[in-house]
Amino acid sequence: MLYYKILSLILVQVVCTIQFQVPFSLGSWPEKTSQQHYSQIDSKDHPVNLNQYKDDYLIRIDYASNPDLGKYLITNNGTIKFNKWNKNVKQQTIDIQINEDNMSKLLQEFNNDVNFKVIIEDLSQTVFETYPKNLIQTKDEDVLINSELFFQDYRNLETIDAWLELIQLTYPDIINIEEIGETYEHRKYKIVHFTVPSEQTLDGHGDRRTIVITGGVHAREWISVSSVLYSIYELIELYKIDPQSKIFRDLDFIFIPVFNPDGYEYTWTTDRLWRKNRQDTVHPRCFGIDIDHSFGYHWTKSSDWACGDEYSGEEPFEALEAKIWEEYLNNTNSDHKIWGFIDLHSYAEEILYPYAFSCKEQPRDEENLLELAWGLAKAIRMQSGTNYQVFAACLDRDADLLPDLGAGTALDYMYHNRAYFAYQLKLRDTGNHGFLLPPKEIVPVGREVVASLKYLFHFLVDQD
Ligand SMILES: [Zn+2]
């Protein structure tokens, strides 16, 4: 009851200017200022072992004039050790995490004909700066009930779960959290239903279209998780202002903020840059399957081995999270008419449409898909000025270079089997921080996502 009162008090103000004084009674986490370096803090107080990144750099390689180099980096099957972060389709650049030794080897391999620049020099520090200033504080009630505080930092799984529970408690009519399965490490797999009951909407009809919005498929892409949470928050705000909106009459929503709970937790406790889930594989010392290579539409086994970042598993739907979602959709087939699927990732500032598995296969209604994609991009541009590029996902995945690179995505699976419109949004930035986007970007990016979602919702309901 107390929760309810305080939450309504605070959430009623869209822009809350009063901040609670946060008590530090539960323990102390060293205050971090922008100048403070992680090396000045006792390593037992580091959120994860930061020394694991200290020899690495994030380096951007321009391969526009050297396609062999591009191919080498994309297929990543040589003896030179590096981790691929992202490829920028338009700029023809690839960002890799690599140490000095291996960088020298790469330069040697290509006779020094490598056009590159260092994007992140102090990777440990950049990792450090993505964690909340005070990890203990994140458990405080104030953080949960004050949205301004909540979205000031990235949140761990425990805090996200507490926040979602509070939202459900506060808005039991419209928010329903459903546990649809269990992960390899026995975490509950949660989805958030957002449905305004038809008594509350004008001339409501039972036949609603469902929009699915997912984040956190890749564990280290924290901005996708915070953006799903921010979307839930903003949709509640919209509901409070206009519960009879056509959006709520004609649509309902499924949000999955953390599609990969085990992987996400692992980025908070062990390795900030982990991408896959955490289940066991054919190789006893390798853990994790890339969920976005596991869906059973045009699935091909990855050339990446079991320890690699893009390992697909040995068969389709081997990743438990992909299987849980597939089973849920099969079991509720008659309840949901899925019209839209938005899968949030980072980073590149791109809107990707099907297909990912091949550029030769044309989607059934490319014209409509493109029109809507440009609309989403325009909505983002109007909101913040950020210019998201629109591409077929196969270009982003380099499916034409190696077929397995584009195989088994949630995007293709959802588009082909379930949703009329399906997109993958790769959020900010274009590489200054990459996966390590500073927390001050949470709200601006959240607003971009909400702008694009509102465009999508109106596109669907205004067609009637
Ligand atoms: Zn991703």
pLDDT in tens, 328-354: 999 998 888 999 999 999 999 999 999
Strands 209-214 vs 337-346: parallel, antiparallel or unpaired: parallel
Rounded to the nearest angstrom, the distance between the alpha carbon of 426 and the centre of ligand 1 is 7
Q: What pLDDT is recorded for position 140?
A: 75
Distance of CA 326 to the CA centre of its chain: 19
d(CA 268, CA 155): 9
* Ligand 1: centre distance to CA 221 (Å): 6
Q: Is residue 142 scored above 80 in pLDDT?
A: yes
pLDDT (0 to 100) of residue 20: 30
Q: How far apart are CA 349 and CA 388, in angstroms?
A: 5
54 has pLDDT over 80: yes
Question: How much is the average pLDDT of 152-158?
Answer: 95
pLDDT of residue 464: 60
Q: The tokens of 284 are what?
A: 């006893």
pLDDT tens string 228-263: 999 999 999 999 999 999 999 999 999 999 999 999
pLDDT for position 2: 39
- The answer to whether the CB of 123 falls within 8 A of the CB of 97 is yes
Burial of 63 (0-12, 13-18, 19+ CB in 10 A): buried
Residue 265 CA to ligand 1 centre (angstroms) = 16
The Cα–Cα gap between 392 and 415 comes to 13
Identity at 295, one-letter amino acid code: F
Rounded-to-integer distance, Cα 65 and Cα 103, Å: 19
Report the separation in Å between the CA atom of 203 and the middle of ligand 1, taken as the mean of its atom positions. Answer: 40
Structural domains of the chain in order of their starting residue, each with its CATH number: 50-128 (3.30.70.340), 182-461 (3.40.630.10)
Reported as a pLDDT band with limits 50, 70 and 90, residue 134 is confident
Residue 256 corresponds to which tokens in the numbers above?
């999955």
pLDDT at res. 397: 87
pLDDT at 38 over 90: yes
Please say if the pLDDT value at position 358 is more than 50.
yes
- CB atoms under 10 Å from CB of 84, counted, come to 18
Predicted confidence at residue 335, as pLDDT, reads 83
Tell me, in angstroms, the distance from the centre of ligand 1 to residue 146's CA: 29
The pLDDT value recorded for residue 21 is 31
Residue 348 φ then ψ, to 5°: 165, -20
CA distance 417 to 317: 15
Average pLDDT over every residue of 382-391: 97
| Centroid of ligand 1 to alpha carbon of 86 (angstroms) | 9
Residue identified by tokens 């507490």 is: 162
Cα 347 to middle of ligand 1, angstroms:
8
Nearest residue to 183 (alpha-carbon basis) of 285, 284, 322: 322
Does position 3 have pLDDT exceeding 60, yes or no? no
Confidence at residue 34, expressed as pLDDT on a 0 to 100 scale: 58
Tell me the C-alpha distance between 189 and 80, whole Å: 37
Q: What is the pLDDT of residue 403?
A: 77
- Gyration radius of the chain over CA positions: 22
Segment 251-308, tens digit of pLDDT: 999 999 999 999 999 999 999 999 999 999 999 999 999 999 999 999 989 888 899 9
Are 371 and 420 contacting, i.e. CB atoms less than 8 angstroms apart?
no
CA–centroid distance for 103 within its chain:
29
To 5 degrees, how large is the angle CA 157–CA 187–CA 433?
35
What is the percentage of the chain residues whose pLDDT exceeds 90? 78
pLDDT reading at 411 higher than 90: yes
Give 64's contacts (C-beta < 8 A, 6+ positions apart): 91, 92, 93
If you measure from the C-alpha of residue 131 to the centroid of ligand 1, how many angstroms do you get, rounded to a whole number? 19
| Phi and psi at residue 255, to the nearest 5° | -105, 135
Asked if residue 412 has pLDDT above 80, the reply is yes
pLDDT at 107: 95
Cα separation, 69 vs 99, in Å, equals 18
Exposed e or buried b per residue across 423-439, where buried means at least 16 C-beta atoms within 10 angstroms of its C-beta: bbbbbbbbbebbbbbeb
CA of 217 from ligand 1 middle (Å) equals 6
Pair type for strands 251-256 and 56-62:
unpaired
Q: How far is the CA of 345 from the centre of ligand 1 (A)?
A: 4
- The mean pLDDT of the chain is 89
**Listed range (68-72, 319-323, 401-405) with the worst mean pLDDT:** 401-405
Burial of 141 (0-12, 13-18, 19+ CB in 10 A): middle
pLDDT value of position 89: 83
Task: Report how far ligand 1's centroid is from the alpha carbon of 429 (Å).
Answer: 13
pLDDT at 17 over 50: no
**CA nearest neighbour of 339 among 168, 456, 216, 165:** 456
pLDDT, position 9: 34
CA 92, CA 65: separation in Å to the nearest integer? 9
pLDDT at 76: 76
Distance 346 CA to ligand 1 centre (A): 6
Tell me, in angstroms, the distance from the centre of ligand 1 to residue 258's CA.
12
Which range among 1-10, 233-242, 377-386, 431-440 shows the weakest confidence by mean pLDDT?
1-10
Q: Is the pLDDT of residue 457 over 60?
A: yes
Residue 49, pLDDT above cutoff 70: yes
Distance from residue 223's CA to the centre of ligand 1 (Å):
10
Q: For residue 375, how far is its CA from the centre of ligand 1 (angstroms)?
A: 22
- How far is 438 from 440, CA to CA, in rounded Å? 5
In this predicted structure, the answer to whether residue 25 has a pLDDT above a threshold of 70 is no
Could you read off the pLDDT of 195-222 as tens digits, one per residue?
A: 999 888 766 556 799 999 999 999 999 9
| pLDDT of 156 | 95
Residue 367 has pLDDT above 90, yes or no: yes
pLDDT category at 138 given cuts 50, 70, 90 is low
